Chains A and B, each alone.
Chain A
Amino acid sequence: MCATCGCSVTEHDHGHTVTLEQKVLAHNDKLAERNREWLVGQDILAINLMSSPGSGKTTLLERTIRDLAGGPEIAVVEGDQETEFDADRIRATGCRVVQLNTGAGCHLDAEMLHRALHSLDPRPGSLVFVENVGNLVCPALFDLGESGRAVVMSVTEGADKPLKYPHMFRTADVVLLNKVDLLPYVDFAVDRFREYLNRVNPTVELLQVSATRGDGIRDWYTWLSERKSR
């Protein structure tokens, strides 16, 4: 083997092409697979929650933690560019939480989740929510090793979002249309949203919820428990 470039030719002039055919995200995908194996081994359901900023992910989590108290333990990984604000809100519910600050980064990756899981140390059989950085673009590309992806989208954001951000909606296992209590006051056509969503993801489940008022929230819990018993 060539000691310089690791190729299989023993002697050659350098200045040659070495074929790699390697995935750009190979390193992340390998770490994600390790996270996944560990989570499956611990019987932990890990949900990657993604959305634009302000769609209600943290409010949804606060309600979910309160409503599912007495069930399997819930622990949360919070991802934001800066501040502990969201972790403080989750901590106030009595739930264990780790805050990740990505600084200039616009998404969580598998290595960050790996570190977060080390410090979170979730119990076997528990439910882990990973609240990704609020961003409808970048988080879609990075596998964390999660068991499922939930995209939250609120009715104040406009029904055309699935077509504007197709990568995010394409990778979702479930989409929660949040803030439906505001539907009487905003110009949001749910049917059009569903049509656009199905253009990028024909099989995704769409749940209409209000995290503040509780509309449709049981459907979310049913989805989680079905996912858990898979």
Chain B
Amino acid sequence: MHELSLTQSVVSAITERFGETRISVVRLEIGKLSGVVVDSIRFCFDLVAEGTTLQGARLEIDEPSGSARCRDCAHEFTVDDPIVLCPNCDSANVTVHSGRDMLIKSVEVTPACAPPAAAR
């Protein structure tokens, strides 16, 4: 269940960066070739976020397909399966360009810190 550690990494990266600021939305990108079960991340997120500035935040996860190029026949293709085979010639000799990344894309911070009237 490496998703628990990954979720902890997400939460600690955000709390380190934003301190006491409350977070309302967390947007992740988890490529389909990353080896991560997105449902497990969702399951872990509420548990890990509890008691932090991310508690109650909405989690949005984008799961892009992978892209790859066959080194044998030069075919370019998209792929969702972790076993990457060229659909044109069945070769496993492929270069994966994307789809393995796990990124914290952005967060939305809540307006808990309205500036004083004089500053407006």
State the A residues within 8 Å of B (CB): 4-6, 11, 13-28, 105-107, 109, 137-138, 140-142, 163, 166-167, 170, 198-202
Contact = CB atoms under 8 A, between A and B. Distances in A.
Contacts, number: 109
Output the residue of B5, B103, B114 with the most chain A CB within 10 A. B5
Nearest to B110: A15
A24 B109 CA distance: 19
25 contacts: A4-B21, A4-B113, A5-B18, A5-B109, A14-B110, A15-B24, A15-B111, A17-B106, A20-B17, A20-B103, A22-B13, A22-B103, A23-B101, A23-B102, A24-B13, A25-B102, A26-B9, A27-B9, A106-B2, A107-B2, A109-B5, A141-B35, A200-B82, A200-B92, A202-B93
Contacts of B112: 14
B24 to A, nearest CB: 8
Contacts of A28: 9
B44 interface: no
B6 A18 contact: no
A141 B101 CA distance: 11
Given A15-B110, A140-B35, A200-B83, A24 B2 contact: no
